[in-house]
Chains A and B, each alone.
Chain A
Amino acid sequence: MLFRIKRFDGEKEYWSEYEVEVRKGMTVLDALFYIRENLDGSLAFRVSCRMGVCGSCAMKINHKPRLACETQIADLKSDVIVIEPLDNYKVIKDLIVDFDGFFKKHAKVKPYLIRKVENYEKPVELIQTPKQLDSYYQFALCIKCGACYSVCPASATRKDYLGPAAFASAYRFIKDSRDEGKEERIPEVACDGGVWRCHFAAECSEVCPKNVDPAKAVQKLRWEAVKHSIRSLLRW
């Protein structure tokens, strides 16, 4: 099978083509390894877990962002496999894109549990029923693979737009019954590069390999933001 891979070496962009013999059960990641080990050692891509949990291997495969390790070649039903780096990120080399900005945006939404009182030496068990857990759990499944961000039209046009993954994370903590930081977090997501910029293309949810549904999180966050402003007005 023919693999066409978009390359970048820091100076120039070009395409490489490789012929790979495909076995049953082979993933796109297996093919990339085969190429690197046998045909071209200079091909650069990220990989770690090879089981869909670390988020390293998101890339564009036949024009759609997917995890290479989870993508069976046979399922693509195509004679040519075209592989490109994710859109909306700066390419460092070949399939490796710069994630620093993505992680900084995630950090901006205060993606951690905020408690008014903490005891580092003697923490106590917090109670959370299975139902309360279920209400946010789906949003805790995000592996920060960045696929959603790469198809997001708002992220493409505005550098400061926080992006779907960051919002999913913010919503995950707002919905966590143990969290007491909602009032601090909402201003972070309702800011200039915040949820109001979303175009509701909903492509983010469509490409998410972990079914996190960030578009839903954005929608819910907007409602939270509205409630928050009403609350602040009343307090006034």
Chain B
Amino acid sequence: MRVQHDIVIVGAGLAGLRAAIAAAEKNKNLSIAIISKTYPIRCHSVCAEGGTAAVLREDEGDSFDLHAWDTVKGSDFLADQDAVEFFVREIPREILLLDNWGCPWSRREDGKIAQRAFGGQSFNRTVFAKDRTGLHEVHTLYERSLMYPNIVRYDEYFLTNLIIEDNEIRGVTAIELKTGDLILFEAKAVILATGGAGRLYGFTTYSHQVTGDGMAIAYRCGIPLKDMEFFQFHPTGLVPSGILISEAARGEGGYLRNKFGERFMEKYAPERMELAPRDVVARAMWKEIIEGRGFESEHGAYIALDLTHLGEEKIEERLPLIREAAKKFVGIDPVEEPLPVRPVAHYTMGGIHTNMWTETPVKGLFAAGEVACVSIHGANRLGSNSTAECLVFGRVAGEKAAEYAMRKDLKHVSNEIYKEEEKRIYDEFLGKSGDESPYQIKKELNEVMDKCFWIFRTGEEMKEGIKKIRELKERYKNVEIVDKKRRFNTDLIYAFEVGFMLDLAEVVAVCAYARTESRGAHYRLDYPNRDDENWLKHSLAYYTPQGPKLEYIPVKITKWKPVERKY
């Protein structure tokens, strides 16, 4: 089957939904489709807890320059400063739009939107809706999107490929999960908003759906991925599940303690303590653990996140989700006892290479949200800047795609392309027999990533990791999908996702191995210092059948020269 739209948006998380609304606001006559592999309100973004950073109170001491500086310093100077300056000015309006569209922002007594402290900020600027910020933001955008008759949704459709001719986008192919049919979407413009790649790691905060599909598909189509070596480890993943305990827990005053009861952050970041940026806190915790000062448990060592001094009222008012999750998943009430936590894979700083207008190197193809790398996060994202990014750049993508679609004619895609894709999926992939299980391969992939590309990295270990990933890629050629029927085939989808993750793992690995310095989240024991002379640059990975080919481009610096990062 084939359908046509002016704009096709893939992904219905914060970025995709925001893009759809922006395009619809731009022009009522454009036909806008949203394709997503889950229903919109089941996207990963609903998991965001802590909040969204925005300068709302210049009269109370905050400023755009401060937000930009915090972001640039947090990024270990790898962020593009022109993009950051644009970003910080745009985000306040997004907060107010969400307010006008019904988001239940937490409030101050005077009825104004409340803000809280977050790591690496020099002003308490994180806007929040209790600790369910993502849930409420997504629901608000989804519900708002229902008001536009020109937005059409294709819920539970799985993107399989991009169609590009003469370096111009023509459309995408996707499987309608309910029936198993392959659908060809012809479009003038396409926006990828498919989210990050966090399930590369085994111990992770991410939803199961975050498998990097959009990144991998773009990469295979020849579009470069930027800065993939930078993966964020959040300090506080609940042991053993990895469920996130938001940074808001420390923002509201929580302490980290080792087994001697010490607030060890004193040693690592005396000024900011628990509220230093994530890379700094995660490394400090890992060091405590490696050096034997963590608590022991059957699920490995952990650090205690102590909220007991905050009191029940504050916890219930500001952190109700955390309390509910801790009770349900580990049977601990944080009002009474500290929570067992450990650093956990949490955010994909890298992604599809775009400029600050969300344009990729392919004409008519845009990318926004976690799938993209603009880059405003550089080597280390600040907490609450990512939902903000989704809103700001989702909007930009929607507007740019609309403008592009308004001046283009739809070009038809030949039937051959459709037939080939159908053959690839159903005959060559689903129909094939083999003796490898995608579940086993995924498990082993997670083990390599958790071991060789974790918080502390070394050349030797990474080399071994690359070898192992390549072996897994070879074995993957032999996977067999057990379920042979087309109807809602989750086995097939899983096998696809594992394939995507193997490609992305290789990119992360090769980029990390190549970068012989330590910057932000990428920390090498064999190169412990930042090296601005050689490495103040973005890496770009291009697909080749032999593995990624790397190139580098300069970082854009406007106001802030790199200085040593102290907290």
Contact = CB atoms under 8 A, between A and B. Distances in A.
A140 interface: yes
Contacts of A10: 485, 487
B243 A51 contact: yes
B113 A173 contact: no
A129 B491 contact: no
Interface string B396-429: 0000000000000000000000000000000000
Contacts of B489: 44
B221 interface: no
Contact of A50 (B38, B39, B46, B207): B207
Given A112-B146, A143-B135, A48 B102 contact: no
Given A10-B487, A44-B488, A54-B47, A112 B102 contact: yes
B522 to A, nearest CB: 28
B240 interface: yes
Given A50-B208, A113-B100, A41 B482 contact: yes
A112 B485 contact: no
A185 B25 CA distance: 23
A72 to B, nearest CB: 8
Interface in A120-146: 120, 122-130, 132-133, 136-137, 140-141, 143-144
Contacts of B139: 140
Given A42-B482, A127-B111, A51 B47 contact: yes
A36 B439 contact: yes
Interface in A41-94: 41-42, 44-56, 70, 72, 92-93
B101 interface: yes
B5 interface: no
B147 interface: yes
A184 to B, nearest CB: 12
Nearest to A67: B328
Contact of B42 (A45, A54, A118): A54
B109 A126 contact: no
A111 interface: yes
Contacts of B101: 112-113
A53 B329 CA distance: 13
A133 B241 contact: no
B232 to A, nearest CB: 19
Interface stretch (B91-99, B252-260, B273-281, B374-382): B91-99
Nearest to A132: B111
A141 B130 CA distance: 11
Interface in B105-139: 105-113, 132, 134-136, 139
Contacts of B47: 49, 51, 53-54
A16 to B, nearest CB: 13
A48 B210 CA distance: 9
Nearest to A107: B146
B525 interface: no
Interface string B333-353: 000000000000000000000
Contacts of B178: 92, 98
A163 B465 CA distance: 52
A188 interface: no
A130 B209 CA distance: 35
A93 B107 contact: no
Contacts of B41: 54-55, 143-144
A126 B99 contact: yes
B264 to A, nearest CB: 27
Contact of A125 (B99, B109, B134): B99
A47 B146 CA distance: 24
A92 B325 CA distance: 30
Interface of A: 9-10, 25, 36-38, 40-42, 44-56, 70, 72, 92-93, 96, 98-100, 103, 107, 111-113, 115, 118, 120, 122-130, 132-133, 136-137, 140-141, 143-144, 173, 176, 178-179
16 contacts: A38-B439, A40-B482, A42-B485, A44-B488, A52-B324, A52-B325, A52-B328, A93-B487, A103-B39, A128-B107, A137-B104, A140-B136, A143-B135, A173-B102, A178-B102, A179-B102
In the A-B complex, list the 4 residue pairs whose CB atoms are closest, starting with the nearest. Answer: A41-B482, A113-B102, A42-B483, A127-B111
